[in-house]
A and B are shown apart, each in its own frame.
Chain A
Amino acid sequence: MALIKLNPLNQRRLRNFKANRRAFWSLWIFCFLFFLSLFAEFLANDRPLLVNYRGEMHVPVLNFYPETAFGGDFRTEAVYRDIEVQCLIISGGLEDCWDDPETVIEAAQNGALAESVEDFQQGWILWPPVRYSFNTVADIGRAAPSPPDDNHILGTDDTARDVMARVIYGFRVSVLFTLVVTLATSVIGIAAGAVQGYFGGLIDLLFQRFIEIWSGIPSLYIIIIVASIFTMNFWLLAGLMTAFGWMALVGVVRAEFLRARNFEYVRAARALGVRDRVIMFRHVLPNAMVASLTLLPFIVTGNIAALASLDFLGFGLPSSEPSLGELTLQAKRNLQAPWLGFTAFFTFAVMLSLLVFIFEGVRDAFDPRKTFQ
């Protein structure tokens, strides 16, 4: 049973979208990648997913455990990448770990310890596929950036952080950022356009002049100024981008409302005494949705590009944050390390292509002139 009963028009649109195989598969691939990246902490982390220490289960990926919990000395969080800590966990807290952890681990795993040590309880560590988080500085034993190898399948960047981990987290930040900003700008833009178009007259006139002045403000300078006062973070940047990006949809929505407010079924609703707010939502807004949807791909990809370019210029998120723009900047600075440039390029190419394919399909599905046979 369908959860939402679609009207025939939307059913046909859905059918048309599904008939466009490229768009349909792009949507699934994108959703899959995005879904995976939402669980980035479980994919790429310097804390294990699960630890068995002396028969007790610990979930370091979610919880804080001091080193003392594993028989260590510090009350700070255990550094699971340290071979000594790994040794403590596996051997169940043997003192010998401080001297020669490699040997102890080997002995624990081939069963030698179980015979020689009394009350020995072997532990184990379950690691995520990538054992580095986006901000883990890896001990690579040579000059960073290092090329791809077994430990770092995409190499490391110039501060010896794992590129694969940064791409996973960076993809998530990019997509979340563009979703948040697109959602916020669309809601504000559609609301503003709706009010202007529906009521018209003086409201429209004043609002339009305000938009003209507002869009004249150089947003890059504002971002630079704000960045020099506050530490930039995700929400502040999203807020700034929203504040200067909501005008994109006002034009089309306003035009659609101006057109649709004189439709006879709108007039009929007014004659029924339906409130303006309800009329706008129920009768007029659906007319504006098609026009808004055709603009949406530009807004979505535009926001991804905007975040990347701000990061590239150094005015975006702090460089410790995972960011594809920052990766691009590193690639430019380290031309001798082509894996950085290729990774950044292919990540952007795949992400933007998928989005373009999806929205192309959405736009075609909404096109009333397209008949699919």
Chain B
Amino acid sequence: MSLLEVKNLRVSFRQDGKVFEAVKGVSFSVESSETVALVGESGSGKSVTALSTVSLLGENAMVEGSVTYGGTEMVGAPERDLRRVRGNDISFIFQEPMTSLNPLHTLEKQLGESLSLHQGLSGAAARERIIELLTKVGIREPESRLGSYPHQLSGGQRQRVMIAMALANGPELLVADEPTTALDVTIQAQILELLADLKRSEGMSLLFITHDLGIVRKIADRVCVMKDGEIVETGPTAEIFDNPRHPYTQTLLAAEPTGAPYPVPDFAKEILATENLKIWFPIQKGLLKRTVGHVKAVNDATLRLKEGETLGIVGESGSGKTTLALAIMRLLSSEGDIMFMRQELHNWTERRIRSIRKDMQIVFQDPYGSLSPRMTVEQVIAEGLSVHDVPGSHDKRGLVAETMREVGLEPEMMDRYPHEFSGGQRQRIAIARAMILKPKLLVLDEPTSALDMTVQVQIVELLRDLQRKHGLAYLFISHDLRVVRALSHKVIVMKQGDVVEAGEAAQIFASPKTAYTRELMAAALNLDSKAG
């Protein structure tokens, strides 16, 4: 008998009198000591499926079908029985380790809560068990960490604590919902290894939800590929990867940003140059606000960028990539020279900077957060026109339509609101907002990392086309080396505010000089090679 058996599960949500069906008749099973991966793009219903196994969905959800855990029916079971199963037999790990931990509680309290709830452990016994758990998930010196708060831990450590919490009651099934998506590549690899180890040593089953096929290949025994609320293909991992039958699976497997950027024209002018750019945030203490030290976000960044060229900035989170870009955009103050189109920007006032803002534009990471939900697409895209003079700006709608066509959007959609668009379309809107001003320099701050793989490929292609057409210079910030390789002419690698390596992209990818770059490549491209 299977440990978890899902039969013909249907989940629909009701809002404003309309019914939206998220999961349309899904059936799969998880045997004991088996890892099953639910793979699919965002909106495919994979998280909803997992949450509905123990009825963790909101009140507006309607669940039909059958979910049996160890032979017991879970759909429609009384809340009391469900509570006993949740956290005890079935544990969850969520995507965002920062928001899943209560910021006001110490580790000991967070872990102790679940122990006292389900096992009645307290005092020294609980403490001992907590230390054992923390050791198990690879937290060094667990005794000294008991009094720490979540904000004192790094992202990877937080996810380890989350795993420790999930393991606390010896679950038989661990449901991991995108547990590594918010983490850096090197940390991702460690967490995956930890999960695989724990699964073996504890004899658990694992239901793994992800959009990343590289991870699936590394960890899963069986794969269920989901699309639009249905499972389109299921089978053992090796079989699916070697011989995908469903066209959607084939697209997913083939989706990887590839190719190389178009070469830079020989006579391209230099458009941006920084000399020893420094961004230090002062730490002030006491009544008189004496500066006692600095948070050194970026030290000595020197870079050059020509028209039609892409400079990739890579590094893990906290390495100062985004800070550097914001300083170049003059959205943060900095020290050191910034030459933009042969003008020295360093000491310009905000008013003077405004006049050249149309030449430098930025596209942000999160296409959901970067568009005001209260403005129509036309208003969003045309916002820059109210500030700057652009040829043809007297016909606002015409220019907006033209720009939308250029980024691959239907101009008929310009009166809609951002929430009606998918992630990829929203990112196109954000690119259109920047492009309508005909900038010379476009800063791209992780423009693809919130998007699904298949969409990433399209965006990368769009960016390459726009660059060739308009001779744009890109400052491309990413932690995803595959995308960087597909777009960049030159690369700088940053670590904790320092530029540790800089040079031609091809050269850095072929023969990284520093240990840090090698480590990054290994983590990112190791998964890569297995997936490919």
Contact = CB atoms under 8 A, between A and B. Distances in A.
Interface in B423-437: 430, 433, 437
A265 B372 contact: yes
Interface in B362-376: 362, 364-366, 369-376
Interface string A7-25: 1110010010000000000
Nearest to A263: B369
Interface stretch (B13-21, B43-51, B198-206, B458-466): B13-21
Contacts of B376: 7
A270 interface: yes
A269 B361 CA distance: 10
A268 B374 contact: no
Contact of B17 (A269, A283, A286, A372): A372
B387 A264 contact: no
B357 A273 contact: yes
Interface in B152-194: none
A264 B362 CA distance: 11
A231 interface: no
Given A274-B387, A275-B354, 5 more contacts: A7-B376, A271-B357, A273-B388, A286-B374, A373-B16
A264 B16 contact: no
Interface in A254-282: 263-265, 267-275, 278, 282
Contact of A272 (B16, B357, B364): B357
A320 interface: no
Interface residues of A, number: 24
A373 B16 CA distance: 5
A264 B437 CA distance: 19
Query: What are the nearest 6 A-B pairs in CB distance?
Result: A273-B357, A264-B370, A264-B369, A272-B384, A273-B354, A271-B362
B369 A373 contact: no
Which residue, of A264, A270, A272, A278, has the highest number of chain B Cβ atoms within 10 A?
Answer: A272
A272 B437 contact: yes
6 contacts: A8-B419, A263-B369, A272-B433, A273-B357, A282-B372, A372-B16
Contact of A267 (B364, B386, B388): B364
Given A7-B417, A12-B16, A372-B16, A275 B369 contact: no
Contacts of B14: 371, 373
Nearest to A8: B417
Contacts of B387: 272-275
B329 A271 contact: yes
Contacts of B357: 271-273
A15 B15 CA distance: 13
B60 interface: yes
A371 B15 contact: yes
Contacts of B383: 269, 272, 274
Contacts of B331: 267, 270-271
A264 B366 contact: yes
A8 to B, nearest CB: 6
Interface in A1-58: 7-9, 12, 15
Given A271-B362, A273-B354, A273-B384, A265 B16 contact: no
A179 B365 CA distance: 44
Contacts of B371: 265
B430 A268 contact: yes
Interface string B395-436: 000000000000000000000010100000000001001000
Nearest to B436: A272
B126 to A, nearest CB: 35
Nearest to A273: B357
A98 B394 CA distance: 78
Contacts of A267: 331, 362, 364, 370
B355 to A, nearest CB: 8
Which residue, of A7, A9, A15, A268, has the highest number of chain B Cβ atoms within 10 A?
Answer: A268
A274 B417 contact: no
Contacts of A8: 417, 419
Nearest to A284: B372
Nearest to A10: B374
A267 B363 CA distance: 10
A272 to B, nearest CB: 4
B358 interface: yes
Contacts of B353: 273
Interface in B325-371: 329, 331, 353-355, 357-358, 360-362, 364-366, 369-371
B364 A373 contact: no
Contact of B16 (A263, A278, A371): A371
Contacts of B360: 271
Contacts of A7: 374-376, 417
B364 A268 contact: yes
B448 to A, nearest CB: 15
Nearest to B369: A264
Contacts of B430: 268
Nearest to A265: B372
B435 to A, nearest CB: 12
A7 B437 CA distance: 26
Nearest to A269: B383
Nearest to B59: A371
A15 B17 CA distance: 12
B372 A283 contact: yes
A216 to B, nearest CB: 22
A224 B388 CA distance: 54
A268 B16 contact: no
Contacts of B358: 272-273
Nearest to B366: A264
A247 B419 CA distance: 35
A99 B372 CA distance: 80
Given A7-B417, A273-B358, A268 B433 contact: yes
A9 B374 contact: yes
Nearest to A271: B362
Contacts of A15: 16
Contact of B373 (A9, A272, A372): A9
A193 B358 CA distance: 30
Contacts of B388: 272-273
Contacts of B374: 7, 9, 286
Nearest to A369: B58
A247 B11 CA distance: 48
A273 B386 CA distance: 10
Contacts of B417: 7-9
B17 A373 contact: yes
A272 B60 contact: no
B361 A272 contact: yes
Nearest to B354: A273
Interface string A354-373: 00000000000000000111
A268 B329 contact: no
A2 B355 CA distance: 38
A151 to B, nearest CB: 54
B476 to A, nearest CB: 16
A269 B388 CA distance: 12
B405 to A, nearest CB: 21
A272 B374 CA distance: 18
Contacts of B362: 267-268, 271
A265 B354 contact: no
Interface string B116-158: 0000000000000000000000000000000000000000000
Interface in B12-37: 14-17
B11 to A, nearest CB: 16
A171 B376 CA distance: 42
Interface string B457-479: 00000000000000000000000
A278 B387 CA distance: 10
Which residue, of B365, B366, B383, has the highest number of chain A Cβ atoms within 10 A?
Answer: B383
Nearest to A286: B374
Contacts of A373: 14, 16-17
Contacts of A283: 372
A265 B369 CA distance: 6
Nearest to B367: A264
Contacts of B372: 265, 282-283, 286
